Structure 1
Amino acid sequence: MSESSYEAVYGRWQSDTEAFWAEAAADVQWDRQWNNVLDDSRPPFYRWFAGGQLNSCYNALDVHVANGRSDQLALIYDSPVTDTLKKYTYRQLRDEVAKLAGVLQKHGVQKGDRVIIYMPMVPEAVMGMLACARIGAIHSVVFGGFAANELATRINDAKPKLILSASCGIEPKRTIAYKPLLDEAIDLATTKPETCLILQRPQLEAALMAGRDLDWATEMETAVSAPCVSVAATDPLYILYTSGTTGVPKGVVRDNGG
């Protein structure tokens, strides 16, 4: 965007904020139109697009499949550390996400439930976020490789029904085993997740705990694709925790509508 274009956009936003965001919202696929752009009746608790219904996963993936972009690339994973290159079209990514969403539903995750994602930067982490959004679950990404006590703090606060994780993370000079950190965090936490879905990476395989841990690939083999669940624009999409350097980490909630 050129400087002049930016100034024009910024000027429109300044002159009429609600009209500006109403125009932007016209590009979003709504299941039900919102009543008003901004509900500021209870400051500082502002509500954007109140009354509207939508699905964030549909707007990220399905809409592009429906509009003729099925075969365009949606995600490129290029890891120089593992020398891995994977490419997903919108259709391929939509299909993988829908299957993973089905796995989550199979194991009791419903609209409004929380799911912690404790994973390295792999395509499955993106799929996990979108799968949660697809069924109206609230995801919380926790930095992969975080110490057990830090993860436990976030587990206690979010109270996840399920945790998505991987056997390890890989850095240029070392492999970090995630599963022992996850196991210790769950032991420390007062709130225990019912299920952990573990992505086994070839660089290091993790031991799974019977009755709690499930193998990602095995579950995906028999997964039934889940449709999109419509949620309110004001329903939470994700929780992202602050660093906690000045106290207990605080969960910042972002809703689906803005």
Structure 2
Amino acid sequence: CHCVSAFWKDIADEFFWKKPATGPMLQYNFDVTKGSIYVKCMEGAKTNMCYNVLDRHVREGNLGDKVAYYWEGNSPDRHETITYRQLLSQVCRCANVLKQMGVKKGDRVSIYLPMIPELVYTMLACARIGAIHSVVFAGFSSESLCERIMDAQSSVLVTADGVFRGEKLINLKQIADEALQKCRENWFVLDLPPVAAQTPWDAEYDVWWDEAMTDSPEECEPEWLDAEDPLFILYTSGSTGKPKGVLHAVAGYLLYTSLTFKYVFDHHHDDVFWCTADIGWITGHSYITYGPLANGATSVLFEGIPVHPHVGRFWEIIEKYRVSKFYTAPTAIRLLMKYGREPLQKYDLSSLRILGTVGEPINPEAWQWYHEAVGQGRCPVVDTFWQTETGGHVLAPLPAATPLKPGSATFPFFGVEPTILNEHGEELEGEAEGYLVFRRPWPGIMRSVYRNHERFENTYFKKFPGFYVTGDGCRRDKDGYYWITGRIDDMLNVSGHLMSTAEVEAALAQHPSVAEAAAVSRPHTVKGECLYCFVTLKDSREFNRTLEEELKRLGKIMRRILRQIARNDHDLGDLSTLADPKVVEVLFSQRREAAA
């Protein structure tokens, strides 16, 4: 424990502290039988996240003219280059605008924006003045947005009139107005300029971004915060369908995102890093905004989708900006696999040094294609396991240092202590499969569920007192490598045999006709449970009885929703984590009562 504290103290010394810590690096209680669950990092210290990711580079270092972001819009003709000095200027101006609107330390600000620079400006502006930001993915419905606004009790919403996702226009301001009809008291809306449509406007509440920013000063003194003050809330769907407001604190999150970014991606000063996630998810928070900026990195900020205006969009951008580190989801890899290697051959991908995956376990076939076709057989693939709750990577290989096994997240990150438990809470040694849990915290772990600490304790610590319970199943092989087998509630007990949905999905994805697959359970009168599989075929492939029989022999998707569809149960709860909730209606209409 002393060694772990000394390690994190050395990392903390790299950052600016207005006041040093007075307590131990990490204090915690993971055992609900011994009182309330808590985690504290660098108690007594004062700092500011925005100062450490911007001012420290511009005012104290020599990175002011270094590119912080290459912004690439939905179409190739929309792009922008933003230096660290320009980023600091815009953040300070935005911070002053928020202050003029009455936002102060501890207030919540909801952000409903697409992947544009103003999203980063607003997040960091909140961090600068001590406000707590709550980013809502700009594809959620008005009901989902309203639920998050009301739970966070925000006083300002920052949005845009709309965004094109590919060729599809999403009218964000209209959706936001529908949400605010239910929670309009004392509200201000800071709105970005029009994208494509006439913007609904209420002069009593709505404020134009451009007008507010024009005369706003470029200097804004940071608010010095306690190490354990909240930094942001990010909502994630719970198993009950009601979103959880995952709460992260300033100092610990700074240390952890900075360090995981530095080592998992082997960051060097001249790298160009590209994480394709949306900032509406934790991946974008940690590895587009805070982690890269804390390291003074140059990143690509991408507004578009992988196949618009053509299927080589990712490869075109890698060539354009000479991307050296590329981080994406297995879902995107499988999507692009459908189009084969021909689109890649049009572009120069020689700048790539490291590839990464995030969001779900990657099936070996996709891993191999990613490694051979995209990485040209020379780039390590860092398969990272982590959660909204963990703040950063907890299982991940270190490139060129960890021998890789396709589909395995390999080993724990520094200071992280995983173990595997059986249903009775007994620790399993050697080769084993069971519940993945962690013995002790790391600086970046969540601190609570916003306004519901009891739910935090019950969800993550009640089942096995003394451990943080991930909710994921895990297998450890004879070499000590960890393999995530899927959510525990997605394990199937078929005729007494425990089956992992992740392994079933990987088996289905091996078929040459399959682009992607998801497996869920359905009650069975004889077997107890049986498999119900959703399969997306590659272009030009047709589903027929022969293919169905082949897939049966082979035998991070919202499985909670798919399970309900499989059971023909229309009570679905929260659908907000679906980019297009209308797909549920399509699945119900095409639902087949096929035998397992």
TM-score, structure 2 as length reference: 0.40
CA–CA distance in 2 between the matches of 1:108 and 1:129? 16
CA–CA distance in 1 between the matches of 2:85 and 2:186? 31
CA–CA distance in 2 between the matches of 1:208 and 1:97? 25
Q: Where does residue 25 of structure 2 map in the other structure?
A: 37
Inter-CA distance 24–193: structure 2 relative to 1 (3 Å threshold): farther
CA–CA distance in 2 between the matches of 1:167 and 1:245? 32
Does the CA-based 8 Å contact 1:145-1:176 persist in structure 2?
yes
User: Match of 1:117, SS?
Assistant: strand
2:150 to 127, 146, 156: 156
How far 1:17 moved relative to its partner?
Answer: 1.5
CA–CA distance in 2 between the matches of 1:192 and 1:21? 44
User: Match of 1:257, SS?
Assistant: helix
User: Match of 2:15, SS?
Assistant: coil
> Which residues in structure 2 correspond to 1:236-255 (within 5 Å)?
236-244=230-238, 246-255=240-249
Q: Does 1:136 align with 2:123?
A: no
Does the CA-based 8 Å contact 2:162-2:195 persist in structure 1?
no
The letter for the 2-side match of 1:22 is K
CA-atom RMSD, angstroms? 1.7
Paired positions, count: 244
2:12 to 18, 21, 25: 25
CA–CA distance in 1 between the matches of 2:216 and 2:201? 20
Does the CA-based 8 Å contact 1:18-1:38 persist in structure 2?
yes
Inter-CA distance 210–244: structure 2 relative to 1 (3 Å threshold): farther
Does the CA-based 8 Å contact 2:163-2:195 persist in structure 1?
no
Task: Tell me the percent identity.
Answer: 38
> Which residues in structure 2 correspond to 1:53-64 (within 5 Å)?
53-64=46-57
Q: Does 1:69 align with 2:57?
A: no
The letter for the 1-side match of 2:7 is F
Q: Where does residue 3 of structure 1 map in the other structure?
A: none
CA–CA distance in 1 between the matches of 2:76 and 2:222? 33
Inter-CA distance 244–83: structure 2 relative to 1 (3 Å threshold): farther
User: Match of 1:188, SS?
Assistant: coil
Moved more, 79-88 or 138-147: 79-88
How far 1:154 moved relative to its partner?
Answer: 0.5
CA–CA distance in 1 between the matches of 2:90 and 2:188? 20
User: Match of 2:237, SS?
Assistant: coil
Q: Where does residue 8 of structure 1 map in the other structure?
A: none
CA–CA distance in 2 between the matches of 1:124 and 1:24? 30
How far 1:68 moved relative to its partner?
Answer: 1.3
CA-to-partner distance for each residue in 1:155-202, whole Å, 9 max, x for gaps?
Answer: 11001111111111111121111011000101123x645211001144
How far 1:43 moved relative to its partner?
Answer: 5.8
1:196 to 173, 178, 189: 189
Q: Where does residue 85 of structure 2 map in the other structure?
A: 91
Moved more, 40-49 or 195-204: 40-49
CA–CA distance in 2 between the matches of 1:171 and 1:193? 31
Q: Where does residue 169 of structure 2 map in the other structure?
A: 175
The letter for the 1-side match of 2:131 is A
Does the CA-based 8 Å contact 2:74-2:165 persist in structure 1?
no
Q: Where does residue 5 of structure 1 map in the other structure?
A: none
CA–CA distance in 2 between the matches of 1:40 and 1:31? 24
Does the CA-based 8 Å contact 1:163-1:193 persist in structure 2?
no
2:180 to 163, 179, 186: 186
User: Match of 2:170, SS?
Assistant: strand
CA–CA distance in 2 between the matches of 1:91 and 1:168? 28
Inter-CA distance 159–89: structure 2 relative to 1 (3 Å threshold): same
CA-to-partner distance for each residue in 1:4-34, whole Å, 9 max, x for gaps?
Answer: xxxxxxxxxx882211111111111111001
Does the CA-based 8 Å contact 1:159-1:192 persist in structure 2?
no
CA–CA distance in 2 between the matches of 1:205 and 1:68? 43
Q: Where does residue 123 of structure 1 map in the other structure?
A: 117
User: Match of 1:40, SS?
Assistant: strand
Q: Where does residue 497 of structure 2 map in the other structure?
A: none
The letter for the 2-side match of 1:132 is C
CA-to-partner distance for each residue in 1:66-91, whole Å, 9 max, x for gaps?
Answer: 21111111121012436311111111
CA–CA distance in 1 between the matches of 2:229 and 2:70? 30
Runs ≥4 residues deviating over 4 A: none
Does the CA-based 8 Å contact 1:145-1:169 persist in structure 2?
no
